[in-house]
A and B are shown apart, each in its own frame.
Chain A
């Protein structure tokens, strides 16, 4: 918030709100840094066709492996494609996969978690399944699923979502288990409140804050896993410019064309950093007792 509006010209109500925001930023600098960085990356993805107007797939066989210059900011790859254009467009697939995986896995995990936390009959079996899935390291599980599926963005999303769901289930379940024993739930039961109402009115709201934090971490993990899968050649189809794909293509040229790997890699790291900062900051903001500890 560097461009300050002269306070006197702003309506009192707006000024209050502005000061509230300023206080929030002062108390939670990581949220602010993370959101600004993430916003910048989201804008990059949305306006990619305007920021880098060229076609990311356009070949220039005569201009292969050119180092970064005024004409090609990030250099060109082995087919003469512009690395800057491809890197900017690559943000789209990363953010798309990250956000869809975060939403879907939180949604699925919430439903399963509420059920296992509250309905004891299915808790045993479902949690064993979740434990089993969690025993397989997530990138390995995603790799295994991609070995069965055909390579497509949809299948990448599914393969990354499945290993993330058990983590959300565990989180929701633990929240529900602690709240379930509280007297007000017992009272609601005793007074004949229907199960659905207890679920919606009492259990669900308590899970929201930890779920938002979990969603950011899941998003970061998804961005990383997508890039990892693509890097290994088991992810997003190679005709789509994703950061992982670009780095995979740059592998054999790394010693002569470092830029092919370093630029997409840097953007990838910045994106994950932004989401992680946001998650850490939100966790502190939601639970001030944890502040300065983690």
Chain B
């Protein structure tokens, strides 16, 4: 088991190396001279050359890449071109809203989607099943921002129940905090829910046709116990896998959701950086998001052994 874990941990290294190389090339290939940007309009050619030397911009690609990786290993993501603040600090400042949004979304989506999928599989072919499947197809088709505006229109403008946009810190009260996150979480979570509900249903249908389920029913177990204790437990691996893989959808959605609802998180930072072409910030954000994605999927892989004790590495 430990051998497997270590091997799996090392397997993420080439993946992150490719991500790093890609992200670094992005800066390398980006148009415009960062030194000229830093020096400003009044700089002379000599000023720019001096900054070039100071930043090591004249060195060959591999040397610069090596230096960049070395800094990265020390937690240094570079400095924003515009605000002159370290990128790691910028990301740190924006962490809380994004974490809050992501965790409420995941909690809410998983808590609803898994029961939906289980019931759909249990009542396969009935109206309930159809309804869940229709929801799943619609959830895939409505883009985050379209759904977001429909929700804002209904709940904020027409009913005036929830704020149109903005983010309230957790320390300013739990009620306003949740009210601010309600619409963003629903908008962001619907695709994720659709995905999880669909896989849960598929996986459950497969398990429900197994012999041991018939045996469990035959020996007189309550249907709920068969469904949860026997079927769902055995259907768990694909469900957990899709929760991990679906995180990519969620991350892409966070960038858009935070812009729609004016939430000052990492997603918003990403969009601002793109619009102002602040390459170090773009690099840092992509690295952090990809790192989280790879890490979560590593944890998902490791959780298999806990969900299904038959899996031994």
Contact = CB atoms under 8 A, between A and B. Distances in A.
B198 A268 contact: no
Nearest to B164: A255
Given A137-B249, A224-B143, A262-B149, A280 B18 contact: no
Interface string A237-272: 000000000010001001100100110011011101
Contacts, number: 146
Contacts of A255: 157, 164
Chain B's interface: helix, strand, loop or mixed, by majority?
Answer: helix
Contact of A277 (B137, B149, B157, B286): B137
Interface in B236-263: 248-249, 251-252, 255-256, 259-260
B226 interface: no
B297 to A, nearest CB: 8
A196 interface: no
Contacts of B202: 293-294
B52 interface: no
B227 interface: no
Given A147-B26, A268-B143, A234 B157 contact: no
Interface in B146-176: 146, 149-150, 152-153, 157, 164
Task: Give the interface centre of A135, A255, A277 by most chain B CB atoms within 10 Å.
Answer: A135
Interface stretch (A96-104, A125-133, A177-185): A125-133
B125 interface: yes
**B143, B153, B289, B293 — which one has the most chain A CB atoms within 10 A of its CB?**
B143
A122 interface: no
A276 B142 CA distance: 11
Interface stretch (A9-17, A81-89, A113-121, A138-146): A138-146
Interface in B100-144: 124-125, 137-138, 140-144
A273 interface: yes
Interface stretch (B66-74, B214-222, B269-277, B299-307): B269-277
B79 interface: no
A132 B271 contact: no
From B23, B206, B271, B277, residue with most partner A Cβ within 10 Å: B271
B19 interface: yes
B141 A147 contact: no
Nearest to B22: A132
B279 interface: yes
Contacts of B30: 147-148
B29 A148 contact: yes
Contacts of A276: 137, 140-141
Contacts of A277: 137
A34 B263 CA distance: 36
A165 B143 CA distance: 22
A273 B18 contact: no
B140 A272 contact: yes
Interface stretch (A58-66, A70-78, A199-207, A225-233): A225-233
A140 B270 contact: yes
A228 to B, nearest CB: 6
Interface stretch (B9-17, B41-49, B82-90, B91-99): B9-17
Given A136-B286, A255-B164, A143 B137 contact: no
A292 B124 contact: yes
Contacts of B150: 262, 265
B252 A137 contact: yes
Given A147-B282, A272-B140, A234 B274 contact: yes
Nearest to A258: B153
A27 to B, nearest CB: 16
A137 B124 CA distance: 33
A50 to B, nearest CB: 27
B31 interface: yes
A228 B257 CA distance: 11
Given A255-B164, A258-B149, 9 more contacts: A131-B18, A136-B22, A138-B248, A140-B252, A140-B290, A141-B286, A228-B256, A268-B143, A269-B142
Interface of B: 14-19, 21-23, 26, 29-31, 124-125, 137-138, 140-146, 149-150, 152-153, 157, 164, 198, 201-202, 205-206, 248-249, 251-252, 255-256, 259-260, 270-271, 274-275, 277, 279, 282, 285-286, 289-290, 293-294
- Per CB-CB distance, the 10 closest pairs between chain A and chain B, nearest first, are A132-B18, A265-B146, A139-B252, A273-B141, A137-B248, A272-B141, A137-B251, A137-B252, A128-B14, A269-B142
Interface of A: 128-129, 131-133, 135-141, 143-148, 220, 224, 227-228, 231-234, 247, 251, 254-255, 258, 261-262, 265-266, 268-270, 272-273, 276-277, 280, 292-294
15 contacts: A132-B15, A135-B18, A137-B248, A137-B252, A137-B290, A140-B252, A147-B26, A147-B277, A147-B279, A148-B29, A228-B143, A247-B149, A262-B150, A276-B137, A292-B205
